[in-house]
């Protein structure tokens, strides 16, 4: 996953861009977790990567999510919060498609 793709999705050094994929993901995560986006969760992690332009080693690849990577941890965390599976249109699947 390239930094430019994360920035294009709306995760930028100045914060999440209004009306972007990032803002939709943030809203989705907040609704599914009772109103907030937790530190260390998918949205905050991606925002951190976008702000620092550090996606090169995140684990989201053209061949899928790399085992043991940051992306793998995010996917696992999201699956646990949704009862065992990553939802279609959720943060992990959307970022993987980016």
Token pair belonging to 13 = 């050094």
> d(Cα 3, Cα 68) in Å, to the nearest integer?
20
For the chain, the structural domain boundaries read: 1-96
pTM: 0.63
* 80 Cβ contact partners less than 8 Å away, ≥ 6 residues apart: none
User: What tens digit of pLDDT does each residue of 72-97 get?
Assistant: 988 898 888 888 888 777 777 777 77
Judge residue 6's burial from the number of C-beta atoms within 10 Å of its C-beta, 0-12 exposed, 13-18 middle, 19 or more buried. Answer: buried
Q: Which residue has the tokens 């920035």?
A: 7
Please state whether beta strands 15-16 and 11-12 pair in parallel, antiparallel, or not at all (unpaired). Answer: antiparallel
| CA-based radius of gyration for the chain | 12
User: What tens digit of pLDDT does each residue of 7-61 get?
Assistant: 888 998 899 999 998 999 899 889 988 888 877 777 887 888 888 876 667 788 8
């Amino acid at each position: 996953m390239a930094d430019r793709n994360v920035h294009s999705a709306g995760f930028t050094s100045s914060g999440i861009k209004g009306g972007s994929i990032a803002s939709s993901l943030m809203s989705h995560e907040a609704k599914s977790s009772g109103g907030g986006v937790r530190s260390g969760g998918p949205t905050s992690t991606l925002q951190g990567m976008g702000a620092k332009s550090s996606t090169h080693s995140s684990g989201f690849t053209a061949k899928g999510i790399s085992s043991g990577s940051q992306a793998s941890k995010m996917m696992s965390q999201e699956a646990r919060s949704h009862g065992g599976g990553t939802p279609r249109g959720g943060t992990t699947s959307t970022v993987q498609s980016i």
